[in-house]
Homo-oligomer: A and B are copies of this chain.
Amino acid sequence: MATIKDIAKIAGVSEGTIDRVIHNRGGVSAKTEIKIKKILEEHNFTLNPIASALASNKKYKVSCLIPQYDEQNTFWKSPLLGILKAYDEFKTFGVQIKNYTFNQFDSSSYLKQFADLLNEKPHAVVLAPIFELETKQIVEQLDTLNIPYLFLNIDIDGLNNITFIGQDSYKGGYVSGKLMHLSLEEHDACAIVQTRLNITNYLAISKRIKGFKGYLKDHNIKLNVLNLSIDLLNPILAKEALNTFLENHSHIKGLFVPTSRSSVITDFINEDKLKPLHIIGFDTTKNNLKSLQEGKLKFLISQRAFNQGYDAIKTMSDFLIYKKVPSKKIYSPIQIIIKENIEFAIEESNKDLESAHSY
């Protein structure tokens, strides 16, 4: 491991000059710059990141704009925990995180939190662009201020985000299609269950449904696929609607629930009807895992949301500290979780959050 001092000695110049070349600070004559670059090359010199971090002593304020989670919607707890884990790892490199959470059913809260966020003048932003139109307003400001940003979990094309970190929703549905086909017999039917609260993550969910159907189509599977829309806002009615539907369509042997609130569906179904059903859901929330454990859900497609949060911070940190430009899309694995490998889906997501970290 050659150090700057070593290189300086070899090149016959001072350490300062080497430093200038490495960081393109300018003020070095073309001749010596070439010479030094060659020597750096030859010794394939790399900065000692440890020493570099220590000396530079720079602070990077990274602000995150993600949905709140609550008892009903626990999904966003996982990315948050991933963010905090990464923060813990990178804080000694000068990365500082501040989280802003908004109500995912209220776009004004999204805008409000963003305004607060912008006031703190962050160096970079990680956001879950739940609302498409509002997001376009938001990123316009970020673009103007030259603040880099990345999209977490939800993707919108055509904007200047440095990357997207999340799952390919179509593929997630596609895999579900295969699992459904595997689970059912020749002449069974299945239903795609949509909930009224879908308005939020609408894009991802419709892509999952497209993927699900896509698999069946690509493989020429003549499975009878019904559609069911449930309004979860009124649990009593929802429950009734669900059970009546199943009653009327007793040949249905599978349900495809393309949202993270799969366990809500399983919990609404009467026990006698639940037994023979093959229900495929999304995301390893606490309730979903419980439902899987109890055998109510047969499959969960995990997108490793914890890792998405972690990777978002890591990617942004690498971008800020080392100017490492990520690829345009970073796709999370499509992980198949069944009762028998459930323990590996529990990840760190079910730890408790003690305090809201911030800078």
Q: Mark A297-308, 1 if CB is under 8 A from B, else 0.
A: 000000000000
Is A335 interfacial (CB-CB < 8 Å)? yes
Binary per-residue interface labels of chain A (155-193) against chain B in the complex, 1 for a CB within 8 Å, 0 otherwise:
000000000000000010011001000110000000000
Instruction: Please measure, in the bound complex, the distance between the C-alpha atom of A91 and the C-alpha atom of B46, giving whole angstroms.
Output: 12
> Among A21-29, A49-57, A126-134, A222-230, which stretch is in contact with chain B?
A49-57
How far apart sit A333 and B51, CA to CA, in the bound complex (Å)?
35
A341 touches B171 (CB 8 A): yes
- For A272, the chain B residues whose CB sits under 8 A away are none
New A-B pairs, 5, CB < 8 Å, besides A48-B92, A175-B338: A174-B340, A215-B340, A334-B340, A334-B341, A335-B336
- Indicate if A322 sits at the interface (CB-CB under 8 A): no
Does more than half of chain A's interface fall in helix, strand or loop, or is it mixed? Answer: helix
Among B1, B53, B93, B178, contact of A338 (Cβ-Cβ < 8 Å): B178
B residues in contact with A333, CB < 8 Å = 341, 344
State the CA gap A171–B339 with chains docked (Å).
11
Number of contact residues on A: which range applies?
20 to 34
Task: Give chain B residues whose Cβ lies under 8 Å from the Cβ of A341.
Answer: 171, 175, 333-336
Number of chain copies forming the complex: 2
Q: Which residues of chain B are within 8 angstroms of A174 by Cβ–Cβ distance?
A: 340
Decide: A344 and B338 in contact? CB cutoff 8 A. no
Find out whether the CB atom of B338 lies under 8 angstroms from the CB atom of A335: no
Identity of the chain B residue whose Cβ is nearest the Cβ of A334 in the assembled complex: B341
Chain B residues with CB below 8 A from A49, complex form: 92
List the B residue with the shortest CB-CB distance to A211: B340
CA distance in complex: A338, B219 (Å) = 15
Query: Which residue of the partner chain, among B1, B171, B338, contacts A340 with CB atoms under 8 Å?
Result: B171
Given the complex of chains A and B, what is the CA–CA distance between A53 and B344 in angstroms? Answer: 32
Measured in the bound complex, the distance between the Cα atoms of B331 and A273 in whole Å is 36
Among the listed B50, B171, B182, which residue makes an inter-chain contact with A53, where contact means beta carbons less than 8 Å apart? B50
A336 touches B336 (CB 8 A): yes
Which of B171, B334, B340 meets A175, CB within 8 Å? B340
| Whole-angstrom distance between the Cβ of A101 and the nearest chain B Cβ | 25
Q: A174-B340, A178-B340, A340-B171 are in contact. Are A92 and B50 (CB under 8 A)?
A: yes
Please indicate which of the listed interface residues A48, A175, A338, A340 has the most CB atoms of chain B within 10 Å of its own CB.
A340
